[in-house]
Amino acid sequence: MNKFYITTPIYYVNARPHIGHAYTTIACDTVARRERMLGVDTYFLTGTDEHGQKIERAAQAAGKSPQQLTDEVSAEFRKLWDRMGLTYDDFIRTTEDRHKKSVQQLFRTIRDNGFIYKGTYTGQYCVYDELYVDATEPGAPCPECGRPTETVHEENYFFKLSAFQDKLLHLYTEQPDFIRPETRRNEVMSFVRSGLRDLSVSRSTFSWGIPVPDDPRHVIYVWLDALANYITALGYGRDDDKLFHKYWPADVQMIGKEIVRFHCVYWPAFLMAAGIALPRGIVAHGWLLFEENKMSKSRGNIVRAETILDVLGTDALRYFLLREIVFGQDGSFSFDALVQRYNSDLANGLGNLASRTLTMITRYFGGAVPTPAAVDGTIADTARKVIQEFGAAFDQFQFSRALEGAWGLVAAVDRYIVENAPWALDEKKDEPSRARLGTVLYTSAEALRIVTALAHPVIPEATARIWAQLGLGEIRKFALSGLKWGELQPGTRLGKVEPVFPRADKSAIERMQKMEEQERTAPAAEAKPVAGPKVITAPAAAAPDGKITIDDFAKVELRVGQVKVAERVPKADKLLRLEVDLGTEVRQVVAGIAESYAPETLVGRKVVIVANLAPRKLRGLESNGMIVAASPEGGKAILAGFLEDVPVGTRLK
């Protein structure tokens, strides 16, 4: 069938977008662009995941209503995708009416088919991962993120996941490409083989979600709500379901490896229960690491895409992510590596090949592609091989291998130009040299055309410009399926030749680092409470005797946190690096308490954190908050604590 439907996960709106989110979306955009160039009717979906307790609490912490927070953050994702020129066909938000209607229809269908029943759930729940956990002890750590789970006791609706164990195993065996790569498939198979318990698919302890049909005291479990986006965006369960009939099932559903279980176990089971066709394949990639850890808001180690776009442009980010990281595996981001790749492959590689080839054609042939006197076999053969291998690698999502091959052609043409020295041929001014000059420059330009066409889905902006400089018009109209050696027509008049990738100097690295540093240390925009007793509109009146008013005190956000990780900071005798759970997020805090406490005695301990302190760096580590301690004169610091048990995240006031 000549259609292709590709989806990204929908992103949580409790965090602003960073290049980890951009990574998946760029990979999907690249695949979608290639499919379109191959003439396939393509539909590309992305969006935001906006319900659930995590979002509700994040909104609370920011002093906003959930709708206000979701509107703001969702718009940021969309704005960034648009700035990067991502070619999504639809952007779904789970708070939209169209989605809610379809999700309720899906719930009803599964219930009518006998796979949803009412029962009682008592157990542990991880709010951060929105995940029911098999542990029995209150506060047991979540197996995914290590944060303490919360005990929930609810009358809930349950999904008969246990009824799908054999069907799922059959699916993984019959359709080996359902989960890629192989390592993820093996993990999922062993998880399912170990037995599946029924899954709670409603919650009644909070309300930020889609009401269960006919029982609005419950909201639908956020993962059932979120996964459904892939069909609700197409109109499933509504009158306007044309797109659903046209594009479903999805051809590729791309995700990060941490959400494999939801997509490869729950999602197909929900679909089977509703009698809906299954996606053709779920493709999981690895994590983008920064400073050796998964880039994430809770670790405070994110890099924003905007910084890279401002300094190097979209193509640089796209090329780096797809060339540097072996898709499926974890890969590290660093500004050094980004600039190095940019200079070596884009500025000195493709950019330089384009400008020298086109400049020589302008100079020696008046700006018209010369007629080759012969076919220069080696380059033509390399190009043919590259076209074939590029497609094969791309079909396997091996972007870095595909690009490596194409850039092998760039290097081969560079050598070819040096060996044939067109400038020397031009100087000879004899017929055979002139004929040879035509062959060399035609060959170079034709190889440039081929790399440009292949690379277009990855670096769309620069390739569109090179294509126009080659005198070929609009690249998006080019049919990639017809790409073959020798199609460049002699006599084609070149467009205006201009450099596409200016070299980046060392200051680019510093500039980007500084921009990110500033972003991290800038005080967060003041939260504007939407409800509550008092909105501060004017500076609080100063109280006499150097005393502060209650409004001044209210500016300090003190919260109960729980230490998850504590370790010494190398070469700093007084400092400990802590990861402190605040209920809605885990913060890194660097504290000068190493002389008072051994790190291992702190793990699990509840502490008081100044949560709205502007971040600062200590020994190169970002400290995101301050731990409260008594500091006796000349003595050691003593941490503030509680005699009674207090829930994590509680505000002190």
Closest distance between ligand MSP and the C-beta of residue 14, in Å?
A: 8
Closest distance between ligand MSP and the C-beta of residue 109, in Å?
A: 19
| Helices (H) then strands (E): counts for the chain | 22, 27
Q: Which residue number, 226 or 470, has a Cβ lying nearer to ligand MSP?
A: 226
Q: How far apart are CA 394 and CA 383, in angstroms?
A: 16
Q: Which residue number, 124 or 229, has a Cβ lying nearer to ligand MSP?
A: 229
Q: Judge whether 85 and 314 are in contact, CB under 8 Å.
A: yes
Tell me the three-class secondary structure of 335-371, residue by residue. HHHHHHHHHHHHHHHHHHHHHHHHHHHHHHHCCECCC
The verdict on whether omega for the bond into residue 181 sits within 30 degrees of 0, i.e. cis, is yes
Q: Which residue number, 300 or 370, has a Cβ lying nearer to ligand MSP?
A: 300
Closest distance between ligand MSP and the C-beta of residue 311, in Å?
A: 21
Closest distance between ligand MSP and the C-beta of residue 94, in Å?
A: 9
Q: Which residue number, 36 or 297, has a Cβ lying nearer to ligand MSP?
A: 297
Q: How far apart are CA 576 and CA 569, in angstroms?
A: 5
Closest distance between ligand MSP and the C-beta of residue 649, in Å?
A: 20
Closest distance between ligand MSP and the C-beta of residue 115, in Å?
A: 19
Q: What's the half-sphere exposure (Cβ side, CA atoms, 13 Å) at 338? A: 26
Q: Which residue number, 259 or 448, has a Cβ lying nearer to ligand MSP?
A: 259
Q: Which residue number, 322 or 563, has a Cβ lying nearer to ligand MSP?
A: 322
What lies within 8 Å, CB to CB, of 538 at 6+ separation is: none
Closest distance between ligand MSP and the C-beta of residue 229, in Å?
A: 6
For the chain, first and last CA: distance in Å?
62
Closest distance between ligand MSP and the C-beta of residue 77, in Å?
A: 9
The tokens describing 461, both together, are 């902006």
- Rg, Å, the chain Cα set: 29
Q: How far apart are CA 87 and CA 27, in angstroms?
A: 11
Q: How far apart are CA 603 and CA 609, in angstroms?
A: 15
Q: Which residue number, 262 or 365, has a Cβ lying nearer to ligand MSP?
A: 262
Q: Which residue number, 270 or 365, has a Cβ lying nearer to ligand MSP?
A: 270
Q: Which residue number, 305 or 440, has a Cβ lying nearer to ligand MSP?
A: 305
Closest distance between ligand MSP and the C-beta of residue 330, in Å?
A: 8
**Residue 18 to residues 12, 77, 212, 617: CA-CA distances in angstroms?**
12, 9, 33, 20
Q: Which residue number, 157 or 327, has a Cβ lying nearer to ligand MSP?
A: 327
| DSSP conformation letters of 250-277 | PSEEEEEGGGHHIIIIIHHHHHHHHT-P
State whether residue 408 is helix, strand or coil: helix
Closest distance between ligand MSP and the C-beta of residue 465, in Å?
A: 29
Q: Which residues of 194-229 are buried (b: 16+ CB within 10 A; e: fewer)?
A: eebebbbbbbbeeebbbbbeeeeebbbbbbbbbbbb
What lies within 8 Å, CB to CB, of 535 at 6+ separation is: 528, 529
The tokens describing 380, both together, are 């033509």
Closest distance between ligand MSP and the C-beta of residue 12, in Å?
A: 4
Q: Which residue number, 12 or 157, has a Cβ lying nearer to ligand MSP?
A: 12
Q: Which residue number, 233 or 462, has a Cβ lying nearer to ligand MSP?
A: 233
Q: Judge whether 497 and 55 are in contact, CB under 8 Å.
A: no
What lies within 8 Å, CB to CB, of 464 at 6+ separation is: 456, 474, 475, 476
Closest distance between ligand MSP and the C-beta of residue 218, in Å?
A: 20
Closest distance between ligand MSP and the C-beta of residue 320, in Å?
A: 14
**Total Cβ atoms within 10 A of residue 603:** 14
Closest distance between ligand MSP and the C-beta of residue 32, in Å?
A: 15
Q: Which residue number, 181 or 599, has a Cβ lying nearer to ligand MSP?
A: 181
DSSP 148: B
The tokens describing 470, both together, are 């080659």
Q: Which residue number, 279 or 372, has a Cβ lying nearer to ligand MSP?
A: 279
Closest distance between ligand MSP and the C-beta of residue 179, in Å?
A: 14
Q: How far apart are CA 509 and CA 476, in angstroms?
A: 32
Query: Could you tell me which of 67, 205, 208 has the C-alpha nearest to residue 531?
Result: 67
Query: Could you tell me which of 273, 284, 98 has the C-alpha nearest to residue 178?
Result: 284
The tokens describing 125, both together, are 């729940």
- Residue ranges that bind ligand MSP, judged by CB under 6 A: 9-12, 20-21, 23-24, 49, 226-227, 229, 255-256, 259, 287-288, 294-296
Q: Which residue number, 376 or 585, has a Cβ lying nearer to ligand MSP?
A: 585
Q: Which residue number, 191 or 416, has a Cβ lying nearer to ligand MSP?
A: 191
Closest distance between ligand MSP and the C-beta of residue 227, in Å?
A: 5
Rounded to 5 degrees, what are φ and ψ at 211? -60, 140
Q: How far apart are CA 322 and CA 400, in angstroms?
A: 6
Q: Which residue number, 259 or 272, has a Cβ lying nearer to ligand MSP?
A: 259
199, containing H or E segment: strand 199-200
Q: How far apart are CA 90 and CA 244, in angstroms?
A: 13
Closest distance between ligand MSP and the C-beta of residue 315, in Å?
A: 20
Q: How far apart are CA 320 and CA 343, in angstroms?
A: 11
Q: Judge whether 209 and 53 are in contact, CB under 8 Å.
A: no
**Total Cβ atoms within 10 A of residue 326:** 14
Helix axes 314-324, 460-469, angle to 10 degrees: 110
439, containing H or E segment: helix 431-455
